[in-house]
Chains A and B, each alone.
Chain A
Amino acid sequence: DGGITQSPKYLFRKEGQNVTLSCEQNLNHDAMYWYRQDPGQGLRLIYYSQIVNDFQKGDIAEGYSVSREKKESFPLTVTSAQKNPTAFYLCASSMGQGGTGELFFGEGSRLTVL
């Protein structure tokens, strides 16, 4: 079945450690996205990528980094510079240019920094 796989589902880390969240899709979508979700704030865009080897900052990119070396994969690193990293992180994909903008989401990764 086609879809988006995020791992791990739950992650605990100590303050000051970098953490990498995995996102893989087999939908053959060009565009991929990372959102952060906090209670009462909806989804805020961290980074997005329209094509391989290219990505753009979203609204809250500070303290995060990404790479897009393969079409299927868009990992997110939460660095020690992110002041408040505890959150629910959602990865999504869409067809990209020429598509309708509809996003397909993974099941999310919950990061807790102790």
Chain B
Amino acid sequence: AQSVTQPDIHITVSEGASLELRCNYSYGATPYLFWYVQSPGQGLQLLLKYFSGDTLVQGIKGFEAEFKRSQSSFNLRKPSVHWSDAAEYFCAVQYGNKLVFGAGTILRVKS
């Protein structure tokens, strides 16, 4: 079955520390991959996307993600976290006409 796994429900990092959020997916072919961010009570905003080409993609707000075909992963990274990055992050994979989302990772930033 098509699935997207975000193994970490919550992550807490100190402001200024680096961040990596994990995402694994099941899919036979090279998928279209996305990371979205959601502030409490709001809709989702696209951070970045991967379709083809360079496996390291840059997004907004200083985020980047790396597609690793051999590991079926698309992990999100940021070198230095800011307090405003506290939010919930969703990985998503396009299967046909639909986008399938992971369960989300809640990021807490401590000062």
Contact = CB atoms under 8 A, between A and B. Distances in A.
10 contacts: A31-B97, A35-B101, A40-B103, A40-B104, A42-B6, A42-B104, A43-B90, A105-B36, A105-B45, A106-B43
Given A42-B101, A42-B104, A105 B41 contact: no
Contact of B41 (A44, A101, A102, A110): A110
Nearest to A40: B103
Given A42-B6, A43-B44, 4 more contacts: A43-B90, A88-B41, A100-B32, A106-B43
Interface in B58-111: 90, 92, 94, 97-104
B63 to A, nearest CB: 16
Interface of B: 4, 6, 9, 32, 34, 36, 41-46, 49, 51, 90, 92, 94, 97-104
